[in-house]
């Protein structure tokens, strides 16, 4: 049963930020009837503070979050050493070496044009990295696929920060899986080219809570629970943070399911 009509105003919204630019008819408001979904799609947004076109990509990501709610998890990756992130000497430095490692895996480099993104760790037209104009269609395509597994995240603050991830397969999973756990942060005020020094950065990848490609869990034959305890560095605002869990195929790195849990009051 179709649940509601959602208005995708991405390109029209971007048009508000570009003076005198006409939005083509095929990129204007489109009313989409959506079926409910149990698939949460991961969008990796590769970005940098020196990228003048990246704020328009952030608008696309924000619109997807507003429209799809829990069915979308956005993580903004600022790769350390990229031309659009260096130099970065601010106390609110956003770039990480891990983000660069992910960019390299997906075929990028320190000279890759931004903004670009990866949807669910999948290739489209034989490429991982995709321009912002492709994200909506690719996210919707992935959202329509029934997941092989569900993730439930619970957070508690007792003797530190603790997150429990409960994985429940919906079917026999005949491939090995790994679980990535990331810390992300919203509402970071820092410079952004063409936007000034008080731009608010969202969904910023801070660090992995286990390892680059996560904990290898092998074949899941039943409900599996993993618990993670971690500290939050003083330069992060805990109330603005969330933990993102990403279950991937160990061999292909494609995303099976994603989830996130907020550590405070900041909306995700």
Q: What confidence score (pLDDT) does residue 69 get?
A: 87
Q: What confidence score (pLDDT) does residue 3 get?
A: 37
- Domain for residue 105, yes or no? yes
Q: What is the CATH number of the domain that holds 137?
A: 2.60.40.10
- Provide mean pLDDT across the span 151-178: 94
* Integer CA distances (angstroms), 261 to 49, 181, 242, 244, 258, in order: 26, 11, 5, 7, 11
- Asked if the model's pLDDT at residue 49 lies above 60, the reply is yes
Q: 208, 230 in Cβ contact below 8 A?
A: no
- Domain for residue 155, yes or no? yes
Helix and strand totals (H; E) in the chain: 4, 15
Summarised one tens digit per residue, pLDDT across range 126-164 is 999 999 999 999 999 999 999 999 999 999 998 889 999
- Domain for residue 94, yes or no? yes
- Asked if the model's pLDDT at residue 195 lies above 60, the reply is yes
Q: Would you give the DSSP letter of residue 210?
A: S
DSSP assignment string, 119-150: ETT--BTTBS-B-GGGHHHHHHHHHTSPPSEE
Percentage above 90 pLDDT, the chain: 78
* Range from 3-12, 86-95, 188-197 carrying the lowest mean pLDDT: 3-12
In this prediction, residue 2 has a pLDDT band, given cuts at 50, 70 and 90, of very low
What is the domain range of residue 119?
Answer: 37-262
- Domain for residue 30, yes or no? no
In this prediction, residue 16 has a pLDDT band, given cuts at 50, 70 and 90, of very low
* Range from 27-36, 116-125, 219-228 carrying the lowest mean pLDDT: 27-36
Tokens 């952030």 locate to 58
Element (H, E) at 64: helix 54-68
Label residues 170-209 b or e (16+ Cβ within 10 Å = b).
Answer: eeebeeebbbbbbbbbbebebbbeebeeebebbbbbbbbb
Q: What confidence score (pLDDT) does residue 266 get?
A: 65
Beta sheet of 149-156, edge-to-edge order: 149-156, 161-169, 224-230
Summarised one tens digit per residue, pLDDT across range 68-95 is 988 999 999 999 999 999 887 666 799 9
- Asked if the model's pLDDT at residue 31 lies above 90, the reply is no
The residue that leads in pLDDT, 30 or 173, is 173
In this prediction, residue 25 has a pLDDT band, given cuts at 50, 70 and 90, of low
Helix (H, G, I), strand (E, B) or coil at 22: coil
- Domain for residue 180, yes or no? yes
- Asked if the model's pLDDT at residue 225 lies above 80, the reply is yes
CA 25 – CA 45 distance, rounded (Å)? 26
Average pLDDT, the chain: 89
Structurally, the chain folds into a number of domains equal to 1
- Domain for residue 239, yes or no? yes
Alpha helix stretches (DSSP H) within 114-263? 135-143
pTM value?
Answer: 0.89
- Domain for residue 20, yes or no? no
- Asked if the model's pLDDT at residue 175 lies above 50, the reply is yes
- Asked if the model's pLDDT at residue 114 lies above 50, the reply is yes
The residue that leads in pLDDT, 159 or 222, is 222
- In terms of C-beta distances under 8 Å and separation of at least 24 residues, what long-range contacts does 248-252 make, across chains too? 248/121, 248/177, 248/178, 248/179, 248/180, 248/213, 248/214, 249/175, 249/176, 249/177, 249/178, 250/175, 250/176, 250/177, 250/178, 250/213, 250/216, 251/175, 251/176, 252/121
Neighbouring C-beta atoms of residue 69, cutoff 10 Å: 11
- Domain for residue 192, yes or no? yes
* Range from 6-20, 143-157, 214-228 carrying the lowest mean pLDDT: 6-20
Q: 216, 250 in Cβ contact below 8 A?
A: yes
Percentage above 70 pLDDT, the chain: 85
Summarised one tens digit per residue, pLDDT across range 50-61 is 999 999 999 999
Break the chain down into helix, strand, coil percent, rounded to 5: 20, 40, 45
């Amino acid at each position: 049963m179709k649940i509601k009509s959602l208005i995708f105003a991405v390109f029209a919204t971007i048009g508000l930020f570009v003076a005198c630019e006409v939005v083509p008819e095929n990129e204007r408001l489109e009313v989409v009837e959506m079926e409910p979904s149990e698939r949460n799609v991961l969008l990796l947004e590769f970005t940098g503070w020196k990228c003048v076109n990246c704020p328009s990509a952030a608008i696309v990501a924000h619109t997807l979050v507003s429209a799809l709610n829990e069915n979308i998890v956005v993580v903004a990756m600022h790769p350390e050493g990229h031309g659009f992130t260096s130099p970065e000497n601010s106390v609110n430095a956003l770039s990480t070496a891990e983000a660069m490692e992910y960019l390299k895996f997906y075929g990028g480099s320190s000279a890759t044009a931004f903004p670009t993104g990866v949807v669910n760790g999948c290739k489209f037209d034989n490429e991982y990295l995709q321009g912002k104009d492709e994200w909506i269609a690719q996210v919707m395509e992935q959202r329509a696929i029934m997941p092989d597994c569900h993730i439930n995240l619970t957070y508690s603050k007792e003797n530190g920060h603790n997150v429990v991830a409960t994985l429940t397969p919906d079917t026999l999973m005949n491939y090995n899986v790994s679980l990535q756990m990331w810390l992300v942060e919203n509402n970071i005020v820092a410079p952004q080219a063409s936007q000034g020094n008080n731009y608010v950065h969202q969904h910023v990848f801070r660090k992995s809570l286990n390892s680059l490609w996560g904990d290898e869990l092998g074949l899941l034959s039943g409900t599996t629970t993993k618990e993670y305890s971690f500290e939050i560095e003083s330069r992060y605002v805990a109330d603005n943070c969330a933990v993102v869990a990403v279950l991937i195929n160990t061999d292909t790195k494609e995303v099976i399911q994603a989830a996130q849990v907020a550590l405070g009051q900041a909306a995700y």
